[in-house]
Structure 1
């Protein structure tokens, strides 16, 4: 049996991870989730340690997406004794922006003012409580999917009346204040094993389809500008609290500094970290090496 299994959906995003595993001599199996099926009365784990890399944005690529299937599969394998990294409880929060915001609030972290609804008809009423400009977001997102900005009541009313408001695969929508981000950047704080790994500033806070990895740059023409930096200690501590509270083994937390008052607003959690594009250029080192070293420790623990 291999030491490690990687459950994944995107065919390109994890080539750097696979290359790093090969380079470090880790015996692993790669399991595409697309055509996978399992028997609840059998189907033993393919390895003692299973690393979940299924993207929340998978519903954009496959109408019959694997999000909820993957949660059931990972829970099944865990029930049979496997160690699951970024398991079903992590996916349950990763795929639910409303739950993310509730978690962030419970941890005492500032977030954008938000209302959560489950009917498009209720968007205008929720918007009255938030004020304009605002964003309407799909609760299940990925790569900025299902986000629209509205600057007036009339704009939102027209979209709702036309049946063109954002949709979410779970029928939940968020109405959220539009944060004017200082310097037009977002901060992406990456964690590994509940500890700070690195942070980058990403240009383009007014855009919605931001993704730091190579595969997300392909159709843009101009790559997104990304810069490594050392975030304030309280931001690092906040990101680590988030990772530990939700049991996220590997993942990023996104923050914007509100230009109006300088408050750092935590607004998104992303448990699918395929790391920054061109890491040696941006960071001066490759985080895959540290990820693989961490995976070796998890394998040793499972074998002990």
Structure 2
């Protein structure tokens, strides 16, 4: 029987999708890729495969989930299976360098960034960046991992050579131009099937751990779902009637990189310029914000997956 296979590594982030798939009576199966085996001599089952492996898997002790997911995707794509967010999407998910190069290739502006491996080279990169304020972040991250703001080289050196230095899982630290917004918020643009669904305004006044999921790990100091937020001033607010000319570029970027489902984050500077700084291909949605606006991302996603499954069944017949 053909069905929807959800490739993932975090049960909590999959629960909401499971409920929506059950609601619309779509057949599905979960494939957890923290560990497992693949028999490369046989063909995969019939159906469609939705990959939502996360760059932050190592923070849940799933260190090799992306690598195993990549092996699974190679097997699926070799046999011509329909994959939503396939191997190209995964490569961008686990590397901000790859994200920025792909965004730039589509004509989308990203903050000035230098990548560095090694503590001495982090200092050299910051000196070369030559910005009065700058941030560090991990190349393979998620949940705001490694994001630190610095206003001087002295404080950077104290951090890098101190005992609190946060070593990136892939060894690559990014030193990035600090974009100071007029107000403390960013905008996250949600896409399903490569099409814009809605934009959500995210309050950054408490930091950049901006995971919108309904379940956050206990380590998430600024978890947005610790308390229900349904009033004006909530951490997540869906923007009614939102439009920006960059949306067309975002959809082009998704097509060019074979990404069907994503959340793309951007920040505006004091002069009104918009900088795109993150692409999330395992995007989550905040239920409180959606309930207030009457728009439901996971429901849209479930319907999209069921439609794609039905299209696959028609092609087989």
Q: TM-score, normalised by structure 2?
A: 0.88
Q: Secondary structure at the match of 1:188?
A: strand
Aligned partner of 2:215 in structure 1 is 215
Tell me whether 1:225 sits opposite 2:235 in the alignment: yes
What is the deviation of 1:98?
0.8
After superposing on structure 2, the runs of 4+ consecutive aligned residues of structure 1 that deviate more than 6 Å are none
**Structure 2: 5+ residue runs without aligned partners?**
none
Aligned partner of 1:120 in structure 2 is 119
What is the deviation of 1:63?
5.3
Aligned partner of 1:294 in structure 2 is 304
**Structure 1: 5+ residue runs without aligned partners?**
none
Q: Secondary structure at the match of 2:308?
A: helix
Aligned partner of 2:16 in structure 1 is 16
C-alpha contact 1:279 1:286 (8 A) present in aligned 2: no
C-alpha contact 1:214 1:277 (8 A) present in aligned 2: yes
Aligned partner of 1:108 in structure 2 is 107
Tell me whether 1:251 sits opposite 2:286 in the alignment: no
Q: Distance in 2 between matches of 1:16 and 1:249?
A: 19
Q: Secondary structure at the match of 2:287?
A: coil
Aligned partner of 2:82 in structure 1 is 83
Q: Distance in 2 between matches of 1:47 and 1:146?
A: 40
C-alpha contact 2:94 2:141 (8 A) present in aligned 1: yes
What is the deviation of 1:159?
2.4
Query: How many correspondences in the alignment?
Result: 302
Aligned partner of 1:238 in structure 2 is 249
Q: Distance in 1 between matches of 2:95 and 2:160?
A: 22
Structure 1's 199 and 54: CA in aligned 2 closer, same or farther, altered over 3 A? same
Q: Distance in 2 between matches of 1:298 and 1:143?
A: 30
Tell me whether 1:262 sits opposite 2:261 in the alignment: no
Q: Distance in 1 between matches of 2:62 and 2:3?
A: 32
Aligned partner of 2:53 in structure 1 is 54
Q: TM-score, normalised by structure 1?
A: 0.92
Structure 1's 110 and 185: CA in aligned 2 closer, same or farther, altered over 3 A? same
Q: Secondary structure at the match of 2:90?
A: helix
Q: Distance in 1 between matches of 2:205 and 2:308?
A: 36
Q: Does 148-157 or 162-171 show the bigger shift?
A: 162-171
Higher relative contact order (CA 8 A, sep 6+): 2
Aligned partner of 1:152 in structure 2 is 152
Q: Distance in 1 between matches of 2:115 and 2:243?
A: 30
Aligned partner of 2:192 in structure 1 is 192
What is the deviation of 1:23?
1.4
Aligned partner of 1:64 in structure 2 is 63
